[in-house]
C-alpha cells in the first residue's frame, strides 16, 4: 500500500518515505510509528496503542516517545508548534490529521504481471558454512547512536566476508530486518543461510558493550553467545574478537591465518572512524542532502587521518552516487575530485577489497574507464568472494565490454549473495540489459519488470523495460511505458542518450539495437 499526503509518499511494501522522487531518511521505529498513525487516522491513538504496536509493549518513557514523534514530524516537514499533519491531544494521544490518498497500484501493469508469476523456490543452502548478520539493537539512551551500532555490524560483516571458507550475506539484505521482530528460522529460509548472528550494542561515554549470539537457523539452536566490554579506543580489537569467535564457532578447523585475514584495522583515529561511520550511514539514506553531508564527513575523516583509504574510496563512491541519482551540480569538477580520491585510496591500500570495489565502480561508472575499473573489481573479488558490490559492478563492466555470459554469471551471484537487497534493482537492471543484448527479450522483460517494481523512479530500469517490450513485439506496452517516461523527462532525445551509451558499451550492435527499440517505443530523435 502507498499513502499519499501533501508531497510525500509512504510505501509500506518497500518501507520507504519519499518526498517527491527523493527518499527521506527515517528510522525503522519512526517509519512504523508514522505507518500506524496513518492507518489509524480516523481516531486518536493513545500512548499505550503506540507502545503496543511499535515497541511490542516494552517500557518506553514519555521522553523517548516524544522524541520519536518529533522525528516523524521532522521527516514529513511538520513541527510540534504547527502540528499541521500530526496533532497532539494532551492526555489523550496523537492523531494524523493530514489529507491522505491510498494508492494500491505501484506501476500497476508491471506489478500485476509480476504478482501473477509463480513464487520463487526456496534458496538452496551453499556448499560451505553460510551466515547472515542481522542489525544489532542499539541499547544506548541516545537514538542518534544508531549509526554506531550499524557501523559495528558493517565491520563485522566485512571481517567475516574475508574468510574464504564462509558464505556471507551482504549488509543490504540483512538490514531489511532492522527494527523488526524476526523469526530466525524464517530469516534463514528467506536468505538461504544456515546460521544467523544477532546482538546488541550499548555505547556510554568512553565504554562500549557488544553482545552477540550465533543461532543455527535450520533448528533454532543457540551455538554460541558472549558479551564483550571495552574502552572505545579499543573498538577495533573488540570487532576482531567477535569476528574470530564467530569464525571459530562455525568452522573450528580453520587455520589461524584464515582468522587473521578477517582482521583489519582501518585507522588509528577513533574520531576519523566515527566520521566515516556517519558518512556511511548518510550514504545509505539515498538523499541529496545526506549525500552532501556524507561527502563532507569523508573529507573530515581524511583531514584527521590522511592515510585512511576507506574514507577516500567512500568519498569517490559518493561522487558516483550523485551521478546515478541525478544530483550532480558540476560534473567536470566532480570527475576530477573522484579521480583524485580513487588514486589516493589505491595508493594507500591495494589489498582492501571494499576500497578496490568502490574505486573500480567509480572508474567504470563515473570516469568511463571500464577496463581499469574491472581490473580493480576483479582483484576485490579475489580478496573477498562475498563482497556483493564487487559482483554486480563486475557484471556491469563485463556487459559494457560485451562479455554477456560473464555479466550474467556476476549478476546472478550478486542476487544470491543479497537476495533482499534494497539495491537489488541495480543487478536486476543489469540482468535485463544482458538478456536484451543476448536477444532473449522475454527473459530481459522479466528482470526489467522486477527492477521497476523495486525502484519505480530508476530511469535506467524503465528504459530497459521499454526496450524489452519493443523488441519482444509488445509495442503497445512499450509506447505506454515510454509515454510515462517522457512525462517526467520531456526533454529526452535519442541524440543525447546514444552518445552516452557509446562511452560505455563496446558493442556497436548492442547500441544500435537499443536505439531501434527506443525509436519503436517513441523516443524522439
DSSP state of 144: G
Q: Three-state DSSP class for 330?
A: coil
Query: Rounded CA gap, 276 and 151, in Å?
Result: 9
pLDDT of residue 492: 83
Residues 6+ apart with CB under 8 A from 84: 78, 97, 98
pLDDT < 50: residue spans in the chain: 106, 253-259
Query: Rounded CA gap, 512 and 464, in Å?
Result: 14
* Four-residue CA torsion sign, 179, 184, 185, 189: positive
- Nearest CA-CA partner of 355 in 431, 267, 421, 275: 267
pLDDT of residue 393: 92
Contact between residue 201 and residue 212 where contact means Cβ atoms under 8 Å apart: no
Cell output for 487? 512525462
> Per DSSP, what are the bridge partners of residue 86?
96
Cell output for 167? 558464505
Query: Rounded CA gap, 420 and 172, in Å?
Result: 7
pLDDT of residue 263: 57
Query: Three-state SS across 216-266?
Result: ECCCCEEEEEEEEEEEHHHHHHHHHHHHHHHHHHHCCCCCHHHHHHCCCCC
pLDDT of residue 387: 86
CA 275 to chain centre: 20
CA 79 to chain centre: 29
pLDDT in tens, 316-365: 999 999 988 778 889 899 999 999 999 999 999 988 999 999 999 999 98
Cell output for 336? 576530477
Query: Rounded CA gap, 309 and 343, in Å?
Result: 10
Which CATH architecture does the domain made up of 267-384 adopt? Alpha Horseshoe (1.25)
Class of domain 2-103: mainly alpha
Query: Rounded CA gap, 408 and 431, in Å?
Result: 6
* Four-residue CA torsion sign, 351, 355, 361, 366: negative
pLDDT of residue 257: 46
pLDDT of residue 253: 46
Return the half-sphere exposure (C-beta side, CA atoms, 13 A cut-off) of residue 182.
28
For 73-96, give the DSSP string: HHHTT--TTT-SSEEEETTTEEEE
Domain residues of the chain, as ranges?
2-103, 130-265, 267-384
Q: Which helix (H) or strand (E) holds 327?
A: none
pLDDT in tens, 98-153: 888 776 554 555 555 555 555 555 678 887 888 899 998 888 767 767 888 888 88
Query: Rounded CA gap, 389 and 5, in Å?
Result: 35
Cell output for 117? 508469476
Backbone angles phi, psi at 511, to 5 degrees: -65, -45
Query: Rounded CA gap, 203 and 140, in Å?
Result: 6
> Quick count: other Cβ atoms within 10 Å of Cβ 10?
22
* Four-residue CA torsion sign, 447, 451, 452, 457: negative
pLDDT of residue 440: 93
DSSP state of 426: H
DSSP state of 268: S
pLDDT of residue 112: 54
Which CATH architecture does the domain made up of 130-265 adopt? 3-Layer(aba) Sandwich (3.40)
pLDDT of residue 34: 92
Amino acid at each position: 500500500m502507498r499513502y499519499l499526503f501533501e508531497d510525500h509518499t509512504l510505501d509500506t511494501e518497500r518501507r520507504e518515505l519519499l518526498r517527491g522522487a527523493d527518499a527521506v531518511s527515517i528510522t525503522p521505529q519512526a517509519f512504523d510509528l508514522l505507518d500506524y498513525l496513518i492507518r489509524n487516522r480516523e481516531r486518536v491513538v493513545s500512548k499505550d496503542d503506540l507502545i503496543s504496536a511499535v515497541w511490542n509493549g516494552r517500557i518506553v518513557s514519555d521522553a523517548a516517545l516524544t522524541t520519536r514523534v518529533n522525528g516523524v514530524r521532522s521527516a514529513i516537514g511538520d513541527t510540534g508548534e504547527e502540528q499541521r499533519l500530526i496533532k497532539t491531544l494532551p492526555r489523550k494521544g496523537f492523531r494524523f490529521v493530514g489529507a491522505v490518498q491510498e494508492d494500491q497500484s505501484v506501476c500497476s501493469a508491471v506489478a500485476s504481471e509480476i504478482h501473477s508469476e509463480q513464487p520463487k523456490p526456496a534458496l538452496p543452502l551453499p556448499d560451505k558454512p553460510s551466515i547472515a548478520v542481522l542489525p544489532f539493537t542499539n541499547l544506548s539512551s541516545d537514538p542518534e547512536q544508531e549509526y554506531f551500532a550499524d557501523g559495528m555490524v558493517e565491520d563485522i560483516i566485512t571481517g567475516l566476508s574475508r574468510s574464504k571458507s564462509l558464505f556471507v550475506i551482504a549488509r543490504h539484505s540483512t538490514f531489511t530486518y532492522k527494527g523488526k521482530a524476526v523469526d530466525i528460522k524464517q530469516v534463514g529460509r528467506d536468505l538461504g543461510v544456515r546460521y544467523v548472528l544477532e546482538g546488541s550494542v550499548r555505547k556510554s561515554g568512553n565504554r562500549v558493550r557488544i553482545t552477540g549470539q550465533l543461532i543455527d537457523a535450520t533448528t533454532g539452536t543457540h551455538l554460541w553467545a558472549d558479551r564483550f566490554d571495552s574502552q572505545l579506543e579499543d573498538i577495533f580489537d573488540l570487532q576482531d574478537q567477535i569476528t574470530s569467535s564467530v569464525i571459530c564457532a562455525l568452522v573450528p578447523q580453520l587455520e589461524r591465518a584464515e582468522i587473521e585475514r578477517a582482521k583489519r584495522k582501518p585507522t588509528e583515529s577513533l574520531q576519523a572512524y566515527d566520521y566515516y561511520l556517519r558518512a556511511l550511514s548518510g550514504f545509505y539514506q539515498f538523499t541529496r542532502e545526506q549525500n552532501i553531508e556524507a561527502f563532507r564527513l569523508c573529507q573530515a575523516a581524511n583531514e584527521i587521518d590522511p592515510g585512511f583509504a576507506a574514507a577516500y574510496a567512500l568519498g569517490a563512491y559518493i561522487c558516483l552516487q550523485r551521478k546515478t541519482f541525478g544530483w550532480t551540480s558540476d560534473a567536470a569538477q566532480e570527475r576530477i575530485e573522484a579521480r583524485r580520491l580513487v588514486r589516493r585510496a589505491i595508493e594507500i591500500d591495494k589489498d582492501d577489497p571494499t576500497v578496490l570495489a568502490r574505486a573500480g565502480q567509480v572508474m567504470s561508472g563515473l570516469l568511463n574507464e571500464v577496463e581499469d575499473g574491472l581490473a580493480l573489481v576483479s582483484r576485490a573479488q579475489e580478496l573477498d568472494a562475498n563482497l556483493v558490490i564487487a559482483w554486480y559492478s563486475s557484471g556491469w563492466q563485463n556487459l559494457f565490454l560485451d562479455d554477456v555470459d560473464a555479466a550474467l554469471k556476476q549478476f546472478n551471484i550478486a542476487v544470491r549473495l543479497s537476495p533482499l537487497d534494497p539495491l537489488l534493482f541495480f543487478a536486476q537492471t543489469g540482468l535485463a540489459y544482458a538478456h536484451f543484448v543476448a536477444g532473449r527479450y522475454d527473459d530481459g522483460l522479466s528482470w526489467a519488470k522486477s527492477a521497476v517494481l523495486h525502484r519505480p523512479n530508476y530511469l535506467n530500469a524503465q528504459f530497459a523495460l521499454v526496450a524489452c517490450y519493443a523488441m519482444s513485439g509488445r509495442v503497445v506496452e512499450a509506447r505506454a511505458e515510454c509515454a510515462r517516461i517522457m512525462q517526467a523527462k520531456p526533454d529526452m532525445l535519442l541524440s543525447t542518450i546514444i552518445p552516452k551509451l557509446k562511452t560505455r558499451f563496446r558493442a556497436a550492435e548492442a547500441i544500435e539495437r537499443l536505439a531501434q527499440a527506443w525509436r519503436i517505443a517513441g523516443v524522439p530523435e
